[in-house]
Structure 1
């Protein structure tokens, strides 16, 4: 399997083995990771040297998503709470796992093991957490949907210097507006907590040990660091997405601001808030399919997925000064109407073939907060959490031509998803 899945670093397979069922307990998993450290470092060094120059180019008909900010699940800015990380992984698989041909995470694992240093309990615990998260993502990794991109890009010193200058200048334009949102707290348990206000959605706090935290830094200095890191990440990810023909998805408002300002779109806080509000939806779609059911949905509704993805992409492809072709709420309404029509048409086709269908269905609400920006190079939407899941039926019609046409309509994704959910209960 390893050789059949490019763009998956060896550290993924080693961590899966270390924290898998054989580990049984957290302490055993930590011990197994520690025993594997020499192999993790050696294989990571080799992989890093071989993979940093490899870049994937999506076909024009494909849709790749590049994750940024805390949505990039192995990023230093992602939440370290196990329950939160698990929930985030599930949302990713249920939404982007359906929407995209491929979802790209940044390979922070390889660099971490190359520079692992002394094996402290805190570092080992982080590695165990990463391994558990990989088990959550494993069905999508094994299916070749979730892949990892190297954060290292070959570039000359002058290009890197120019990029850093752009990041610094962009971050400086945001500092006065957002510096007061950053608050440094010292709970008294030997840690420091950096609250970043509305930088990310949902809100994210950064943790560090006091001994590793520079106490001479003022609140403004810490804010500058956080803004610079967020802008750097967003611009770097956008660069990779543009080169690979993909789109950036992020829950980083600061990253979004950085992309907008870099494009010369001067926006202020209230304008972004209006953009957020415009992307805030309640999707009446089924939200509790598991990863294996999502894979099944991708297969069984494969004819409908291209047009379904186009509809979603058009709704997220926005400009702060303009409206999209269709708003997200309009697209949701259109898909719901299509699902209702398809239900009736599929029943009619079945009746004509003397086949009858009866099945109940459930409808669960799921919140969505998404916001995006179009660029001149690729469509790239910068979108927030995008849970896009759906509704009903296992159709076998006598009139194959009519049935085939129906199964190519975007609303059929909703129809098929509910069928999978209904059969699971």
Structure 2
């Protein structure tokens, strides 16, 4: 028999199914989850009686479950809502080994198959993932992997409509001293500071610094639960961000000087990717609250001081920005859908922006009072940062970049005066296969 993850209905993104290794036909469906949950990465226990698997509610939240091969009710083994990147059984089928960040500590962990408190396993790798144990149980193999993405600061063109000169359109002025992912940068309204997300401590947290990289300060500390997507308030005093600190993703607000964050959304919906209205009175955010059983999100709007949320979009939306005049809201759709759309702030007249069919590359775009800047990639050329003018309705290439952007996180910000541009690009992706002898 083989165990695979396969959908049973359009509303089932993935359930665990036993199939015949000879015919490929389904023998038994062991789980039947509906969106937004995905059951995946099934692993047979060595005694052949059980299957351990991951149940994902998002990219950064997983739990380990075990189900009998003969069927029955699956049992939750963990309840931490953390990102789990691999699991395996010990040779005696009594424990599970998995890779995750728990309590701010990343690495390999062991937990009894009946559940309990995870125990950290010290190994030589710095970022161990995807563990596998030999049949004899005395060898542990795993991948040591991490992505090194850096912020590159370029001299911007202003808005004279001229491309930036140079080999790749600019020269690198700033290279943050981190060997982990730095993403989601945004200049403060006055251009003096930068807020961003970093994994430099082993888990995603919100950081702040001067625009030259000095005076680096960590703003959030959620004990390993991810925090990200930070956005400045129009007056530069506050930062909105999303986090799983309370379990499901929620929107938080924190002072730019630090302190205790305030939780804005408090329900069990998937609320993420906040942004501010121009007057600083409202927060826009993506949420699945219109259909909690789906992973599809729409843009919602909520008062900063709290109150009922109002739905703005109705055909799918991921993230967006309010226009300078406060009349429109520009937004991108879910991953894999190119283009940008606009809708009135009252939630009417939703339509695509015809000049921006190549924009919306994941989350690498933004809005200033003069127009919209974004990353695009035409066939046969490097990724290029382009600018769309609200006045002329024309698109101008600003900067051809040397290396690709992170496609799963935002990595582009332009100062309000257009004179500085920060771009997060992948410098290195490291993968090593390590083996620990004498494992117990």
**Which TM bucket (shorter chain)?**
under 0.3
Compute the TM-score of the two structures, normalised by the length of structure 1.
0.23
Q: Which has the higher helix share?
A: 1
Which structure exhibits the higher relative contact order, with contacts defined as CA atoms closer than 8 Å and separated by 6 or more residues?
A: 1
Q: Which has the higher strand share?
A: 2
Compute the TM-score of the two structures, normalised by the length of structure 2.
0.23
